[in-house]
């Protein structure tokens, strides 16, 4: 059984999905796609304590009151390399830090080339909690597939500024 809820954030509405024992997916619903009911309505969070906790922790993160997530998650069917890279990211890149694609490739202990890390970040089913926004290019922000359509880099910049990993923009 899947439980779903959503939370309004400064970077858009996030939909969160749980199977009751692990968070399975976090995503930005696309236009025309209905988001799960927001907390406080008839959301599945009333029936799934894990979903309720995930929404609470995300709310605290966006309020600046939480720096790390303490939630079980399941990345779903991924290759061994993708699992190793995403777990290395979750385990070693903390709030307020960034890592380059090449550095994450090294930390993962895989032989994956740095240029493949971006594709792996795009396969992350649990953004924010597994912080793919913290992975940057050696010469700038790199890419980001999260956020509203066309807002990926703005979303990434906001998240990194929120965590103190980038100075706030002057414009």
- What residues does each domain of the chain span? 3-62, 80-162
Position 3 scores a pLDDT of 93
Q: Is the pLDDT of residue 155 over 70?
A: yes
Mention every residue, 6+ apart, whose C-beta is less than 8 A from residue 80: none
pLDDT digits (tens, 9 = 90+) for 19-55: 999 999 999 998 765 555 544 433 677 888 999 999 9
Residue 40 to residue 59: CA distance in whole angstroms: 13
What does the pLDDT average to over 138-155? 88
Count CB neighbours of 167 within 10 A: 8
Which residues are the active-site residues?
132
49-53, 64-68, 131-135, 163-167: the lowest-pLDDT one? 163-167
Average pLDDT score over the chain: 89
CATH of region 80-162:
1.10.10.10
């Amino acid at each position: 059984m899947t439980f779903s809820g959503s939370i309004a954030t400064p970077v858009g509405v996030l939909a969160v999905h749980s199977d009751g024992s692990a968070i399975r997916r976090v995503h930005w619903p696309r236009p025309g796609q209905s988001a799960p009911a927001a907390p406080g309505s008839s959301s599945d969070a009333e029936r799934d304590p894990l979903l309720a906790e995930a929404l609470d922790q995300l709310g605290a993160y966006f309020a600046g009151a939480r720096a790390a997530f303490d939630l079980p998650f399941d990345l779903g069917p991924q290759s061994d390399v993708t699992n190793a890279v995403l777990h290395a990211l979750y385990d070693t890149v903390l709030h307020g830090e960034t890592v380059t694609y090449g550095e994450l490739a090294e930390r993962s202990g895989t032989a994956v080339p740095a240029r493949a890390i971006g594709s792996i970040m795009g396969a992350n089913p649990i953004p924010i909690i597994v912080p793919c926004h913290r992975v940057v290019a050696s010469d700038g922000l790199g890419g980001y597939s999260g956020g509203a359509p066309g807002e990926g880099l703005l979303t990434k910049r906001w998240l990194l500024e929120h965590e103190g990993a980038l100075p706030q923009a002057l414009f």
